[in-house]
């Protein structure tokens, strides 16, 4: 029975762990119907080839029969060659069924192969666990599906036999080709009708297996909290998260450099990009700052977009140390920055009030 406390959807980590164990959603009915329909279509395509192969062998041995002296050895040869001819004719269909079964399984599981499924599980020998499995919801659904399939198959067989029994009996008077075509047509009709019904059953089972899988891997809120603690507490993961955050922040910062009115540098170690928009800024705002290589990148981007670059060592170092990106510069730097901005505006033929 499902633990009532497990009300939350499984986390990505939980899903990865379950997959490593080989626990994935898979419908066996989908595999079966894929193989059945595939072999059905291939049988219709290859029937002329199969018919000719078997016919040629029968004609060959029946034509040689009158001159045979040792009937026992001849019969054994006929049996062996006929078996080989039937196998050769049916081999493409058998291989197609195997390939389709593998594909049907692989598509659902994303071609998962894990050794954990091959290892012996002693819990399967536990009689109490076995009883629980027998009376579980999944076992009940499987039982109902199997009963439904048996019932449907029985009804279809009954209808075919009831309607085609007399015509099938008349095939005794037909030649080999006509009787073979008629019997195959009856078999094909049965397979087609069974396949249509089983296709609906497989569709139901496909969605049921996914629903049941999601139900089985649900987590409690406490499990989610514990997993979060374990994940976030991992130094490597925390370091990776911080690194990603820094990269994203740096990327956003560098994208804002072209909006700056001026870049103040020292000359290779520090660089700060400032913006002062009279309509929305109360004071100059720090758009970007960098040291060493990052400082050179800020300067390069600024020059590429026509931003004035001014060298002022103490001012660049002071603003770099005292101001966070996105904040206004401290008031003690207003005077020096104002002089620089006036110079820049004059060079750009801007008018300030």
pLDDT tens for 321-331 read: 999 998 999 99
Q: How far apart are CA 193 and CA 63, in angstroms?
A: 40
* pLDDT at residue 168, as a whole number: 64
CA atoms within 13 A on the CB side of 120: 3
Identify the residue whose tokens are 């758009």: 287
What would the mean pLDDT of 136-156 be, rounded to a whole number?
Answer: 77
Residue 351 pLDDT class (50, 70, 90 cuts): very low
Structural domains of the chain, ranges and CATH numbers in brackets: 12-114+126-222 (no CATH), 255-347 (3.40.1690.10)
* pLDDT at residue 288, as a whole number: 93
- Is 263 in a helix, a strand, or coil? strand
For the cut 60, the answer to whether the pLDDT of residue 352 exceeds it is: no
For the cut 70, the answer to whether the pLDDT of residue 177 exceeds it is: no
Question: Distance between alpha carbon 185 and the CA centroid of its chain, in Å?
Answer: 40
pTM: 0.51
Nearest to 312 by CA among 351, 262, 348, 347: 262
> Which range among 82-86, 125-129, 248-252, 332-336 shows the weakest confidence by mean pLDDT?
125-129
Q: How far apart are CA 340 and CA 192, in angstroms?
A: 85
Give the tokens for residue 325. 């990106």
- Is 121 in a helix, a strand, or coil? coil
Q: How far apart are CA 259 and CA 134, in angstroms?
A: 69
> Which range among 137-146, 181-190, 344-353 shows the weakest confidence by mean pLDDT?
344-353
Helix or strand (DSSP H, E) at 112: none
Q: How far apart are CA 322 and CA 332, in angstroms?
A: 11
pLDDT tens for 260-280 read: 999 999 877 899 999 998 888
For the cut 90, the answer to whether the pLDDT of residue 192 exceeds it is: no
* pLDDT at residue 176, as a whole number: 63
Packing angle, helices 313-322 and 334-347, rounded to 10: 120
Residue 350 pLDDT class (50, 70, 90 cuts): low
Using a pLDDT cut of 70, give the percent of the chain over it.
79
* pLDDT at residue 60, as a whole number: 72
């Amino acid at each position: 029975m499902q633990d009532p406390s497990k009300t939350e959807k499984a986390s990505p980590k939980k899903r990865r762990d379950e997959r490593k164990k080989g626990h994935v959603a898979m419908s066996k009915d989908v595999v079966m119907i894929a193989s059945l329909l595939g072999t059905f279509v291939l049988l219709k395509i290859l029937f002329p080839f199969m018919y000719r192969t078997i016919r040629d062998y029968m004609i060959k041995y029946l034509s040689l029969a009158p001159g045979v002296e040792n009937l026992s050895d001849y019969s054994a040869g006929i049996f062996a060659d006929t078996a080989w001819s039937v196998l050769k004719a049916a081999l493409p269909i058998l291989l197609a069924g195997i390939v389709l079964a593998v594909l049907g399984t692989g598509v659902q599981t994303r071609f998962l192969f894990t050794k954990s499924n091959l290892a012996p599980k002693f819990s399967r020998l536990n009689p109490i666990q076995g009883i629980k499995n027998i009376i579980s919801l999944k076992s009940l659904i499987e039982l109902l599906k199997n009963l439904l399939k048996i019932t449907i198959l029985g009804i279809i067989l009954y209808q075919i036999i009831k309607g085609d029994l007399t015509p099938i009996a008349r095939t005794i008077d037909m030649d080999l080709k006509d009787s073979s075509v008629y019997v195959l047509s009856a078999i094909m009709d049965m397979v087609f009708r069974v396949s249509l019904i089983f296709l609906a059953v497989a569709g139901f089972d496909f969605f049921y297996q996914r629903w049941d899988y999601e139900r089985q891997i649900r987590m409690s809120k406490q499990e989610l909290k514990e997993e979060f603690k374990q994940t976030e507490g991992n130094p490597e993961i925390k370091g990776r998260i911080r690194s990603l955050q820094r990269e994203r922040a740096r990327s956003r910062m560098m994208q804002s450099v072209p909006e700056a009115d001026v870049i103040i540098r020292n000359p290779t170690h520090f660089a700060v990009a400032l913006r002062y928009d009279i309509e929305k800024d109360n004071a100059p705002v720090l758009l970007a700052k960098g040291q060493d290589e990052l400082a050179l990148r800020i300067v390069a981007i600024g020059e590429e977009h026509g931003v004035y670059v001014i060298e002022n060592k103490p001012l660049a170092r002071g603003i770099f140390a005292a101001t966070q990106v996105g904040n206004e510069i401290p008031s003690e730097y207003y005077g020096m920055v104002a002089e620089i901005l006036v110079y820049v505006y004059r060079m750009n033929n801007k008018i300030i009030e």
